[in-house]
Structure 1
Amino acid sequence: MDEFWVFGYGSLMWNPGFEFLGKTSGRAFGYRRALCIRSFVHRGTPEHPGLVMGLDRGGSCKGMAFQVANHNKDEVVDYLRKRELVTNVYLERYLPVLLADGRQVRALSYVVDCSHQQYAGALDIEDAARIVHSSVGQSGPNDQYVLNTVELLKSMGIRDAWLEGVAQRVDKLKAQAVA
């Protein structure tokens, strides 16, 4: 029996938006999670872009693998394309993912197109936090996207010092704005 899997590493982990049979942690190799995409729609606008996650080249990324019923595959792929390919900053790929139980599966995922105008590359914590703190898009405030992702990663036992640094700096900027 063929299995259909989706690998999430950002908001898909805490807000998949599609029906699935089960989920488990998994690791994709050859890519790392990075806050490297200027968001023109979901967490920002073309005039004031936010930042969202992408799978960037190098390393590995622990995230969430979702098993989808074969009869829902087309519906889920259509949904993900509408959600993830709005501005074509992502490339749709099937990646080998090592599941928590030791099995390796091929999972649909979205990697950043480093040649796309929205690719932000490597930013320092301060610059990333300023962008995240002040950006809002169709899916809501950029800071909630980052904070939700960091909290879920921590609950999964995944530590990302750079991303946690961005979240801490965003919290400080929020506190300064209220004061």
Structure 2
Amino acid sequence: MPELPENEDLWIFGYGSLMWRPGFEHKAVADAQIYGYHRSFCVSSVVHRGTRENPGLVLGLDAGGSCRGKAILCPASIREPVIDYLYRREMVTKVYVPKMVSLKLLNDGRRVSALTFVADPHHEQYCGSPSIEDAAKIIARASGRGGPNRDYLYSTVEHLDEFGIKDGPLHAIMQLVQKLGE
């Protein structure tokens, strides 16, 4: 766990389902951008969207570029239970590394520190950046405890569109997955 300032509200950066389904009480949500990482289907899912025999793909923050998402402000009074919840949710196989990052709040330009979960490039489930074609093939056929991998992709793209976040690679993957399903 990264070192956190004591007794302060905590910003949490969401770049996937955490943006629309945080699962905890919060004081505020703001559009945000981080630099040095980008949203990518770089994590092989063997639990929620795939199995060991037929892994799916889920999002991670991978090195390089930038990423728009949501900054979610957790009140100091419930910070510890929220962190515990996030660890149970995000650290099932320990493919993510919790990290404090600097982000820019897009509504007012402020820079704040936020907790987020970055893909661990040394973990066995880290798969780098598969091509759009390879990602589509994997996502089209995989399913896990959380349901079909394609549903995760569709929901992500739908919410990114709703939030006005442009992510061309995810849209391209979705178009190919839809073609594969025809």
The two structures have a TM-score, normalised by structure 1, of 0.93
In the TM superposition, 1:12-31 aligns within 5 A as 12-31=18-37
Q: Does 1:112 align with 2:96?
A: no
5 Å-filtered alignment, 1:5-16, equals 5-16=11-22
Contact 1:14–1:149 under 8 Å retained in 2 = no
In the alignment, the residues of structure 2 paired with residue 53 and residue 96 of structure 1 have an alpha-carbon distance, to the nearest angstrom, of 20
Matched, 1:95 2:97: no
Q: Is the 8 A contact 1:32 1:57 kept in 2?
A: yes
State the match for 1:142 in structure 2: 149
User: How far apart, in 2, do the equivalents of 1:46 and 1:117 lie?
Assistant: 12
Indicate which of 4, 10, 15 corresponds to 1:4: 10
**Dislocated runs of 4+, deviation >3 Å:** none
Letter in structure 2 aligned against 1:55: L
Residue ranges of structure 1 left out of the alignment (5+ in a row): none
1-side partners of 2:24 and 2:12: how far apart? 10
Match of 1:126 in 2: 133
* 3-state SS of paired residue (1:25): strand
1:96 CA drift (Å): 0.6
Matched, 1:168 2:175: yes
Q: Contact 2:9 / 2:79 at 8 angstroms: preserved in 1?
A: no
What percent identity do the matched residue pairs reach? 47
Matched to 2:160, the amino acid is L
Pairing partner for 2:68 from 32, 53, 62? 62
Distance between the aligned counterparts of 2:20 and 2:149, measured in 1?
15
* SS in structure 1 of the partner of residue 8 of structure 2: coil
Q: Distance in 2 between matches of 1:125 and 1:33?
A: 14
RMSD: 1.2
Q: CA deviation at 1:83?
A: 0.8
The equivalent of 2:82 in structure 1 is 76
Q: Counterpart of 1:116 in structure 2: which amino acid? A: H
Q: Which runs of 5+ in 2 are unaligned?
A: 1-6
SS of the residue 1:83 aligns to: helix
Q: Which residue of 1 aligns with 2:50?
A: 44
